[in-house]
Amino acid sequence: MTTTEQSYAAPPQLIDSLKKYQNVAAFVGLAGLALLIAGYFMVSPEQFLRSYLVGFWFAFGLGMGCLVLLMIHLVSGGAWGVMVRRLLEAGTRTIWVMWLLFLPLLLLAPHLYSWADPEHAGEGVRKVIELKKIYLNTPFLWARWVIYGIAWNGLWYFINKWSKLEDETKEWKYSSAMEKLAAPGIVIYFFTITFCSIDFLMSLDVTWASTIYGFLIADGQALSALAVIVATLILIGKYEPMDHAVTKRHLHDLGKLMLAMVMMWAYLSFSQYLIIYSANLPQEITWYVRRLNSGWIWVGAILLVFHFAVPFCLLLSQSLKKNPRTFLAIAIFLICVRVIDVFWLVEPNFTPVDHPAFNISWLDIVSPLGFTGLWLAMFFNQIPKRPLLPLGEPNLEKALNHGRDH
């Protein structure tokens, strides 16, 4: 290891702190997943799978959000991305595990998706399933899962490989290779995550469809990942060398990006609602009929206020974004609200349209804790394995000086 690599390697104090965070996250994750598995026998296989999907999809979105943010940075540049690039890379190295954790949803699909078990569906639903059977069938779902895995794991593997070689050789060709891969990689991400969200989320209600849904899911994943990355950056920013590298200007830039994603989530959510409300077609309004009646309307109100209005107002303030303590609080707050949003996407699909009733199981609480704990344990384990800043990044010096003259 060269002198430069040593100067940007994680110091012993940070490694010890990350180890503590990793152990706590692993304990919470294993405990949560153990309780979730117990729920399969204590509650029902159906509720186990619903809750599994809630927790799994949130944690899965953290790794995927890191991947798309990393690719956006590689294409667009910017000092904000240089500061968090190593954290984003660490997040992407969890994707292969999360991809494998789709297996319970694939193996037990008839317990969760009506199209996978049409014999037990209502007559009206069976007609819709018949029309969509070319796409919604189990063999094709397995095939798409394999395609997703090849695409996602290929993207993160080569970007991480070339990033390491960029550090070792300081050659421009690896930076160029990552940029050339990231550009089509962003397109691949949006296509695959759109189809994946249709497969595992939208098809929970086989009679409903939305053309905005994939973009809404992608924005949510990027926002969740950014909140975790910001919180982690602030935590490791207390230690050398990050205490000298990260400036208030970097935090301000990340805060502006977070604000843009909050606004995009609100815009897409409102657009989807407005289009469906205006058309008022029976096959489309069921999604909102379930969510705007009974106790579900309060979940919607929570998202409106705490997923949009409150963070929007807070992130408008430069002083709050530049203050590590308040920005950390906002990031953690958004992580919690993002879990509620995933819960809102999944659970109401299992309540009757004519008599929608709010229901929440204790499995819906332990599942996000379990999967998020597992993801964070892997994430914290990966952070110190490489220098905290990309040493071969051509714009590293410029990024380090970002905001020094302010």
Cα 94 from Cα 313, distance rounded (Å):
33
What's the pLDDT at 88?
Answer: 98
Please tell me the predicted confidence (pLDDT) of residue 250.
Answer: 94
**In this structure, what token pair is assigned to residue 107?**
């193996």
Give exposure, 202-228, as e/b (b: 16+ Cβ within 10 Å).
bbbbbbbebeebbbbbbbbbbbbbbbb
pLDDT at 357: 86
Query: Does residue 346 contact residue 54 with C-beta atoms inside 8 Å?
Result: yes
Cα distances (angstroms) measured from residue 63 to each of 132, 189, 228, 229: 30, 12, 10, 11
- CA dist 290 and 353 (Å) reads 6
Which residues lie below 8 Å from residue 157, measured CB to CB, with a gap of 6+?
Answer: none
Tokens for 76, please give them: 């667009």
How many CA atoms within 13 Å lie on the side-chain side of 192? 23
What is the model's pLDDT at position 51? 97
Are residues 388 and 241 in contact, defined by beta-carbon separation less than 8 angstroms? yes
Token pair for 91: 């997040």
Per the rule left: phi > 0, alpha: psi between -120 and 50, beta: everything else, 289 is alpha
> How many CB atoms are located within 10 Å of the residue 304 CB?
14
Find the radius of gyration of the CA atoms of the chain: 22
Look up the pTM and report it.
0.96
Q: Who contacts 134 (Cβ-Cβ below 8 Å, separation ≥6)?
A: 140
Q: Please state, in angstroms and rounded to a whole number, the distance separating the CA atoms of residues 114 and 205.
A: 8
261's tokens = 């994603």
- Per-residue tens of pLDDT for the chain, all 406 residues: 454 455 678 899 999 999 999 999 999 999 999 999 999 999 999 999 999 999 999 999 999 999 999 999 999 988 899 999 999 999 999 999 999 999 999 999 999 999 998 887 777 788 999 999 999 999 999 999 999 999 999 999 999 999 999 998 888 899 999 999 999 999 999 999 999 999 999 999 999 999 999 999 999 999 999 999 999 999 999 998 898 899 999 999 999 999 999 999 999 999 999 999 998 888 788 899 999 888 899 999 999 999 999 999 999 999 999 999 999 999 999 999 999 999 999 999 998 888 878 989 999 999 999 999 999 999 999 999 999 999 888 889 998 888 776 5
Give pLDDT, residue 281.
84
Q: Token pair of 132, please?
A: 């969509």
- Length in residues, the chain: 406
How many Cα atoms within 13 Å fall on the side-chain side of residue 220? 29
Which residues have C-beta within 8 Å of that of residue 177, sequence separation ≥ 6? Answer: 158, 162
Encode the chain in three state secondary structure: CCHHHHHHCCCHHHHHHHHHHHHHHHHHHHHHHHHHHHHHHHCCHHHHHHHHHHHHHHHHHHHHHHHHHHHHHHHHCCHHHHHHHHHHHHHHCCHHHHHHCCHHHHHCHHHCCHHHCHHHCCHHHHHHHHHHCCCCCHHHHHHHHHHHHHHHHHHHHHHHHHHHHHHHHCCHHHHHHHHHHHHHHHHHHHHHHHHHHHHHCHHHCCCCCCCCHHHHHHHHHHHHHHHHHHHHHHHHCCCCCHHHHCCHHHHHHHHHHHHHHHHHHHHHHHHHHHHHHHHCCHHHHHHHHHHCCCCHHHHHHHHHHHHHHHHHHHHCCHHHHHCHHHHHHHHHHHHHHHHHHHHHHHHHHHCCCCCCCCCCCCHHHHHHHHHHHHHHHHHHHHHHHCCCCCCCCCCHHHHHCCCCCC
